[in-house]
Chain A
């Protein structure tokens, strides 16, 4: 193989190798900003020892927040979520605010795109839509000790009567 053909072969590989990731990244940016599929960000800090006095975590639970919208304030701790059952009508969008009272936890809600970390001292906010009636289990997906695997709960989307 001559040196010229080595360079030519290199170039024929290099140019698409630059174009491909650039195109993919453009699509991701469009999905994040244009379609609203974005990640958790900075939502403020708190003292995990003072949760009982820190809104909104002084009142864990499910609260109406508008037409077809609900707000869930949730505290994660070894080895349970409070609340561990969230009841909303099917077709609702639920906005979650979650924090931890002890160590790092996580939450993934099956059947939705909700998947976040819960870090003590930080507030994680995300929303999920529960279109179909039924149960959506959520589980802790970050190792949190010897009973990590029993830490779970469920969202119950109730059919409209």
Chain B
């Protein structure tokens, strides 16, 4: 398949459809986010918005679902199949299958969105029972998950067809990474699928009276931690396979990149208890095992850090960079797509360090469910992932629309604005968390305000306003690039070559079945006992409550 300037190949149209839904969700997500940041700093806009956003918590539910569930999932389901097709030089195996997945995902989204918008599902994106939302919320989200399985199937069939056409060759890295990401996600989504199909849906329809809140939490976090890798690994796909060339260099090591993704496949899932360290009813030994495995995931993260930084360095040195650290200034900082992604990496480093603190067993008691966690999530998914995806769209939207990026200098300013806003916003939330301020709480209305919290809260509002301004700028640039900017022959970017290439990767890294088997064994070891015990010994004794 030749690089196509207009972008309106079948794959391009599908990616554009996913991207349109993703961007609409992000717009709703950042708008509701602004309301929360303002509320923290003492400006309460909710009464003025009462018919649309009924309460702080209604807005918070919208913010979480739209940003972390819809924006991410739709972007990824459009982006990775596109990258896979390009890197294999062949169309996706199932074109019809691709569109079925898109429409199923969109139908699920609409079904979930109706109760969410009507304040019938103000349960936040974690929807812990026995808070009970309208059944359509659970059914809709389940359809979204089922649609992602169809994307996995399509990627799997496509890679298999390519392998038959190219016996003995290593799967190209972008396709390999995309497939591993979706396989990891599919295994991990079995937790939330089980929670929905066997617990939430029959319970919300009134077919069963009571539920088991702790089992639901365990199944939720079975999926809830690996889902962050489902958001993050597509950003890594860009950092490994596209950014090195955008920086003017080469990927440092292709085999090391494969090893890190295999380790993410093995280790992303059996770690969910690190979200439940403070839960009753789960034995400390199992919690410690999950702490150990979470620390193991730190290893492929460090491999990624090394490999990506070394790749950037190769680009900067090729451009005349010198010294141990000064080369960093020689990166092509004028390119908004690259600048956005390198800035997101810088922020993500601190997200990674914070994540290690969260995972640190008893140290977690200092930060659990405080504003620290909100600060952390905005460094990771809110910047490491989101600002990278924004950077990707700065080349992807021109490729899809056949128009030049509108006002690249403005796009550059947008990325820096996001970076600056996040530094203020997230740093303040981390500090508030260390001062014991709870997360997900209407701070403008608490009767227990502490003076040291009150002193810092205006900074949350200021950071939020900077982020919102950056987001608005982003949507203007994207809309102008998609529809107005001057027509141009935009080539899709080429994938980076590697210093140590795919030929150096041993064949066992390319056979996924044994690794999937090993991942399942690890999951069984880490979760088997607790899930069995909670299913058969712990009581299903909680009726549903509507508390909003």
Q: Is the CB of A143 within 8 A of B124?
A: yes
Contact of B280 among A103, A124, A148, A149 (CB under 8 A): A124
Please give the distance in Å from B349's CB to the nearest CB on chain A.
Answer: 14
- Distance to closest chain A CB from B248 (angstroms): 16
Pick out which of these stretches binds chain B: A37-45, A58-66, A68-76: A37-45
Are B438's CB and A41's CB within 8 A? no
Proximity bits, A96-113, B CB within 8 Å = 1, else 0: 000000111010101101
What are the interface flags for B495-522 relative to A under an 8 Å C-beta threshold, 1 for contact and 0 otherwise?
0000110001000000000000000000
* Chain B contacts with A in 198-216, Cβ cutoff 8 A: 212-214
Would you call A122 and B499 a contact (CB within 8 A)?
Answer: no
Tell me the nearest residue of chain A to B285, going by C-beta: A41
Give the segment of B76-84, B135-143, B179-187, B286-294 that binds chain A. B286-294
A17-B303 in contact given A25-B291, A143-B440, A152-B448 (Cβ < 8 Å): yes
Asked if B395 is an interface residue, CB under 8 A from chain A, the answer is: no
**A3:B500 contact, CB within 8 angstroms:** yes
Query: Which of B4-12, B365-373, B417-425, B463-471 participates in binding chain A?
Result: B365-373
**CB-contact partner of A21 in B277, B299, B446, B448, under 8 A:** B299
A121 & B299 in contact (Cβ 8 Å cutoff): no
Check if A47 is an interface residue, CB within 8 A of chain B: yes
Contact of A123 among B57, B128, B280, B356 (CB under 8 A): B280
Known: A6-B499, A28-B360, A103-B547. A120 touches B366 (CB 8 A): no
Bound Cα distance A3, B372 (Å): 43
B262: min CB distance to chain A, Å: 15
| Number of A-B residue pairs with CB-CB distance less than 8 Å in the complex they form | 203
Cross-chain contact B291 with A120 (CB below 8 angstroms): no
Q: Contacts A6-B253, A106-B369 hold; do A13 and B214 have CB atoms under 8 A apart? A: no
Q: Please determine whether B217 and A24 come into contact, CB atoms closer than 8 angstroms.
A: no
Judging by beta carbons under 8 Å apart, are B310 and A120 in contact? no
Report if A48 contacts B (CB, 8 A): yes
Q: Is B361 an interface residue (CB 8 A)?
A: yes
A 113-142 to B, binary, CB cutoff 8 A, 1 in contact else 0: 111111111111100000000000101111
Q: Which residues of B contact A37 (CB under 8 A)?
A: 362, 365
- Given A24-B295, A141-B370, A143-B57; A121-B541 close (CB under 8 Å): yes
Residues of chain B lying within 8 A (CB to CB) of residue A125: 280
- Complexed CA–CA distance, A86 and B434 (Å): 24
Contact A141 B439 (CB under 8 A): yes
Within 8 A of B (CB), among A24-39: 24-25, 28-29, 31-32, 37-39
B78 CB to nearest A CB, Å = 31
Bound CA–CA A113/B365 (angstroms) = 6
In contact, A139 and B438 (Cβ under 8 angstroms): yes
Chain B residues 437 to 486 lying within 8 A of chain A, measured CB to CB, are 438-443, 445-448, 450
- Choice from A32, A119, A140 contacting B217 with Cβ under 8 Å: A119
Closest to B500 in A: A6
Contact, CB under 8 Å: B450 / A42 = no
**When chains A and B are docked, how far (Å) is the Cα of A29 from the Cα of B292?**
10
Query: When the two chains form their complex, are residues A17 and B299 in contact, meaning their CB atoms are under 8 A apart?
Result: yes
CA–CA, A18 and B303, complex, Å: 10
| A149 and B130 contacting across the interface, CB-CB below 8 Å | no
Closest approach, in angstroms, between the C-beta of B297 and any C-beta of chain A?
A: 9
Contact A21 B547 (CB under 8 A): no
A149 touches B446 (CB 8 A): yes
Supposing A13-B302, A21-B298, A121-B214 touch, asked if A32 and B288 sit within 8 A by C-beta, the answer is: yes
Chain B positions within 8 Å of A40 at CB level: 278-280
Given A3-B500, A28-B361, A140-B438, A120 and B130 touching (CB < 8 A)?
Answer: yes
Cβ-neighbour of B213 out of A6, A25, A121, A143 (below 8 A): A121
Contact with A28, one of B291, B448, B504 (Cβ below 8 angstroms)? B291
Contact check, A115 vs B278: say whether CB atoms are below 8 A apart: yes
Residue of B at shortest CB range from A6?
A: B500
CA distance A142 to B292 in the complex (A): 26
**Contact between chains at A25 and B295 (CB < 8 Å):** yes
Say yes or no: is A159 at the interface (Cβ < 8 Å to chain B).
no
A1-23 residues at the B interface, CB under 8 angstroms = 1, 3, 6-7, 9-10, 13-14, 17-18, 20-22
Contacts of B442 in A (CB 8 A): 148-149
Q: Given the complex of chains A and B, what is the CA–CA distance between A24 and B291 in angstroms? A: 11
A38 to B287, CA, bound (A): 11
Contact (Cβ within 8 A) B295 A116:
no
B538 within 8 A of A: yes
B44 at the interface (CB under 8 A from A): no
**A13 CA to B369 CA in the complex, in Å?**
34
Asked if A150 lies at the interface with its beta carbon under 8 angstroms from chain B, I say: yes
Chain B, range 234-253, C-beta contacts under 8 Å to A: 252-253
Shortest Cβ gap from B320 to chain A (Å): 17
Are A39 and B212 neighbours in the complex by a CB distance under 8 Å?
Answer: no
Residues of chain B within 8 A of A114, CB atoms compared: 365
A146 partner residues in chain B, CB cutoff 8 A? 55, 57, 122, 547-548
A39 touches B57 (CB 8 A): no
Asked whether A39 and B448 contact (CB < 8 A) given A1-B499, A117-B276, A146-B548, the answer is no
**Interface residues as binary, B17-58 with A (CB distance below 8 Å gives 1, 0 otherwise):** 000000000000000000000000000000000000001010
Q: Which 9 A-B pairs have the closest CB atoms?
A: A145-B547, A141-B438, A17-B302, A124-B280, A141-B369, A21-B295, A122-B280, A122-B281, A37-B362
A-B residue pairs in contact (CB < 8 Å), sample of 5 = A29-B288, A121-B539, A124-B280, A150-B446, A150-B447
With A119-B213, A137-B450 already in contact, 5 other A-B pairs whose C-beta atoms are closer than 8 Å = A108-B438, A122-B279, A143-B60, A144-B131, A150-B447
Residues of B within 8 A of A (CB): 55, 57, 60, 122, 124, 128-131, 212-214, 217, 252-253, 256, 276-284, 287-288, 291-292, 295-296, 298-299, 302-303, 306, 310, 356, 360-363, 365-366, 368-370, 436, 438-443, 445-448, 450, 499-500, 504, 538-539, 541-542, 545, 547-548
